Amino acid sequence: MKLTLKTDVAIIGSGPSGLLLSRLLKLKGISSVIVERQSITHVLSRIRAGVLEQGSVNMMRRAEVGTRVSSEGLRHDGFQITYGDRELRIDLQKLMGKGVTVYGQTEVTKDLYHAVISDNTQIIENAGDDTAITLSSDHVKVTGVSPECAFDIEAKFVAGCDGYRGISRQAIPVDIRQEFERIYPFGWLGVLSETKPADHEIIYSSHENGFAMCSMRNANLSRYYVQCPTNDRTDDWSDERFWATLKERLPSQIAQSLEIGPSIEKSIAPLRSFVCEPLSHQRIFIAGDAGHIVPPTGAKGLNLAFSDIFYLSNALVQYFSKNDESELTGYSDRALARIWKAERFSWWMTSLLHKFDEEDRFAEKMRRAEFQFLCESPDFQRALAENYVGLPY
Ligand code: RFL
Ligand code: PHB
């Protein structure tokens, strides 16, 4: 069977970027079809980000999916950075007059997915690897096969929201596409456990043996991360080894009262910084992880995806309502200006808190001095807080 569809915008990828874009367009009367490589069940079960900037919460409200994040999201006025046994609280509320919301990406995706389904927007799931994008001067085609059918979508534009390993970025010709990348020599082992969180706020811990982090999803669900070698596999990390490593890297007073229990999910993610320039070409526009990656230390990935979608949805609305292409033309530059600042912040947080292999003794001294300076300088703390709560858009 062949499914032939005509729509305003073809969206590749049903992660948070693709779903948010589809929803915002629909609320302005602009149609979309979403193509997703995985099953929706798989997409809805992925455990990733936890921290939302106020701007991202506002975007969910704009998409009319803000009810649950407002009632169930945990509002955090600050977070802790620790270095050995020393603790520093970054008081976001005092420094910036606003905080962040802890609300899992799994929940964000669920809220958006239900809204997109209620919009009757078509999602073609389990699309095969040979999905192809063809750009022409006045339209685009997205073709491929899913287990149910072959599909042929004709649209005015295509939005590449298919994450770092997607196909969309490749539609920008190599001679005009530049990619900037830094791969860090370590990963994060993430563990979810049905235990009481270590603290009521997030704790980022730097230790001479490596980084560790304590986060949460609710009062009885904790999310932890420890820095680990890139090539490690989850099988290398028994629960016992994980808890011992976490405890060793936390300040002793936090480690002593840590509630431990079986892990209910364990995964390893490599850490990478990556930016593609430009983010658009002819009728394709790239957003979210498809165009850039940050190491998760600054909690910026999902938030950046949402600011991209802010710029892109506004630009598409401008085009479809006023036939004005100027915002679409400016999309890449506007999004990249904010992306590079978040790249800088995420790179800096990663450098401040992790131990790098084969680093010299000077590097450890620099991290210690930087932490010391952070403890003593309200101005430095404010700069950190300003980035953490999210730069304006
Ligand atoms: P996603 O979520 O990767 O979704 C892309 C979707 O596209 C699909 N896809 C394709 N579909 C069709 N055809 C193809 N050829 C396709 N190829 C791929 C994929 O199956 C998928 O469904 O990208 P999106 O929507 O741009 O969202 C980005 C966020 O997921 C990401 O930035 C965050 O998870 C990053 N992140 C964090 N961000 C934050 O803002 N705050 C945090 O606290 C935070 N913590 C994290 C994180 C990421 C982490 N990992 C696992 C890297 C913590 C971790 C551990
Ligand atoms: C999380 O809760 O998963 C989380 C929180 C803050 C980060 C990264 C991940 O910087």
Q: What is the pLDDT of residue 167?
A: 96
> Which pLDDT value is given to residue 146?
95
What pLDDT is recorded for position 100? 98
Question: Which pLDDT band holds residue 161 (cuts at 50, 70, 90)?
Answer: very high
Q: How far apart are CA 75 and CA 201, in angstroms?
A: 9
Residue 55 reports pLDDT greater than 90 = yes
Residue 257 confidence (pLDDT): 96
**Using a 6 Å cutoff on CB, does residue 202 contact ligand 2?**
yes
pLDDT above 90 (res 359): no
Is residue 62 exposed (0-12), middle (13-18) or buried (19+ Cβ within 10 Å)?
middle
Residues known to be catalytic: 76, 204, 296, 300, 388
pLDDT higher than 90, residue 166: yes
Q: Is 51 in the pocket of ligand 2 (CB under 6 A)?
A: yes
- How does residue 240 score in pLDDT terms, banded at 50, 70 and 90? very high
CB contact at 8 A, 34 and 23: no
Which residue reads 């955090």 in tokens? 76
Decide if domain 2-76+101-181+272-350 falls under CATH 3.40.1390.10.
no
Is any atom of ligand 2 closer than 6 Å to the C-beta of 297? Answer: yes
284-286 and 150-160 beta bridge pairing: parallel
The per-residue pLDDT of the chain, averaged, comes to 96
**Position 358 pLDDT exceeds 90:** no
Condensed to tens digits (0 to 9), the pLDDT of residues 77-106 reads 999 999 999 999 999 999 999 999 999 999
Ligand nearest to the CA of 19: 1
**The pLDDT of residue 320:** 98
Average pLDDT value for residue range 292-310: 98
Phi, psi of 360 (to 5 degrees): -85, 175
Supply φ then ψ for residue 106, to 5 degrees.
-55, -40
Q: How far is the CA of 268 from the centre of ligand 1 (A)?
A: 14
Domain edges within the chain: 2-76+101-181+272-350, 185-271+355-389
pLDDT at position 334, please? 98
Strands 78-83 and 74-76 come out as unpaired
User: Using omega within 30 degrees of 0 as the cis cutoff, is the peptide bond preceding 278 cis?
Assistant: yes
Q: Residue 48 — pLDDT band, cuts 50, 70, 90?
A: confident
The string of DSSP letters for 25-90 reads HHHTT--EEEE-SS-HHHHHH-----EE-HHHHHHHHHTT--HHHHHHSEEESEEEEEETTEEEEE
Identify whether the C-beta of residue 157 lies closer than 8 Å to the C-beta of residue 10.
yes
Predicted confidence (pLDDT) at residue 49 exceeds the cutoff of 90 = no
Helices (H) and strands (E) in the chain, counts: 12, 19
Q: What confidence score (pLDDT) does residue 103 get? A: 96
Task: Dump strand ranges (E) for 279-325.
Answer: 280-281, 284-286, 292-293
Instruction: Determine if ligand 2 sits within 6 Å of the CB of residue 384.
Output: no
pLDDT at 65 over 90: yes
In the reported structure, the alpha carbon of residue 374 is separated from the centroid of ligand 1 by a whole-number distance in angstroms of 31
CATH fold of 185-271+355-389, please? D-Amino Acid Oxidase; Chain A, domain 2 (3.30.9)
Token pair 């999803």: residue: 217
Does 215 contact ligand 2 (Cβ within 6 A)? yes
Position 242 scores a pLDDT of: 98
Residues with CB under 6 A from ligand 1: 12-18, 35-38, 43, 48-51, 105, 127, 131, 161-163, 165-167, 188, 190, 269, 288-289, 296, 299-303, 305
Which atom of ligand 2 lies nearest, measured to the CA of 216?
2
Residue 372 predicted with pLDDT over 90: yes
Task: Find the 165 Cα to ligand 1 centroid distance in Å.
Answer: 10
Q: Do the domains 2-76+101-181+272-350 and 185-271+355-389 sit in the same CATH topology, yes or no?
A: no
* Structure confidence at residue 129 as a pLDDT band (50, 70, 90): confident
DSSP 8-state assignment for residue 332:
H
